[in-house]
Amino acid sequence: MNVPTDLVDRVRSRLASGGTEITSAEVARAVREEAGGIVGDADVLDALRLMRQEFVGAGPLDPLLRAPGTTDVLVTGPEQVWRDGDGGLRRTDVTFPDEDAVRRLAQRLALICGRRLDDAQPFVDAWLPAGALGRVRLHAVLPPIAADGTCISLRVLRRAGHDLGSLQRLGTFDEPTHRLLEAIVDARLAFVVTGGTGAGKTSLLSALLGRVDPTERIVTVEDAGELQPDHPQFVRLIARPPNVEGAGEVTLADLVRHGLRMRPDRIIVGEVRGAEVYNLLTALNTGHDGGAGTVHANSPAEFPARMEALAALGGLDRGALHSQLAAAFHVVLHMRRRGDGSRRLEEIGVLERTRDGVRVVPATNEALEARGVTVPC
């Protein structure tokens, strides 16, 4: 791309100081007016393409974010742009002109989120406004915190649209496991889906909620609106971050409390990750059967320890946590993402009390039947 540097600088300054919303039409007008008749048509088109990438959408990352199956787009340098999704993490041929271009994109995306990103605040974690891509989570870090240059991480959160049947066809689990999952939901057991980032926890949870009896009212609490099960009695509550002044935040813990006042038959937390664990456990121990949530954990065996750490944030000590945990949750479903990008339901466990607290053991037929599940043949 052979674009005169002075033309790019003039257009950039004009757009940055215009004080109006920067749209594709505004970029085109600025390029035409600044170019005049001095440069050729090809250079004008190149400048227009470059300016659109810099000022509109996610710039050169837009095609990657729109590609089917993309879960993450990662930038670790002007020539280090990676895409994660079907097939795993792969380096792309997308590049930036220089480090300044990466920094400008990171700062512009932060501004779109209503956040600041500069030398005084060198990192940001925020949500881009919802659009055709679904929701995109932005994380960016500037030098010198990021020693080798500006880092941008964009996570694409699309609505999980699979039911249990489609997940079986994708190879997430087999037919006997499919029948067992239906039996767990029908028995109104409270369950938690564990796994790492991108393991498919939300997809499985959404599919399981689609199995819930249509006469039951489901209230979900989420940080991002990912859950969209095929269910007629489905109410979503979505958390809100603070604005640039630090006001207006609505936390998951706030929403759990309000969700309990909305006459739920099942209360669901899209991701249990903080003080809201206290409110959720309280709810599940006061007659709200069949609740559910997702938790980041490396294995079912590590689930109790993970919950201990989260409960501490809510002021719940280990003894109280274990007492409530064993009564609140019955089943642990563990998802794992493989190297080829496929996702599998690898383990099913049940919680059982021990002398020292609670542990997760394999879900045998006897253990499930003791909890009211009629194990399908």
For residue range 19-38, what is the model confidence (pLDDT) as tens digits?
555 566 666 667 667 666 55
* Distance of alpha carbon 282 from alpha carbon 276, whole angstroms: 10
104-131 b/e (C-beta count within 10 Å ≥ 16 → b): bbbbbbbeebebebeeeeeebebbbeee
Write the pLDDT tens digit of every residue in 276-328.
788 778 778 877 788 998 999 899 999 998 988 888 887 788 888 888 888 88
Cα torsion 11, 17, 22, 25: sign:
negative
The secondary structure of residue 203, as a DSSP letter, is H
pLDDT score for 150: 96
Two tokens, residue 34 = 């600044």
| Range scoring the smallest mean pLDDT among 91-100, 125-134, 287-296, 357-366 | 125-134
- The pTM for the full model equals 0.76
Q: Is 8 helix (H, G, I), strand (E, B) or coil?
A: helix
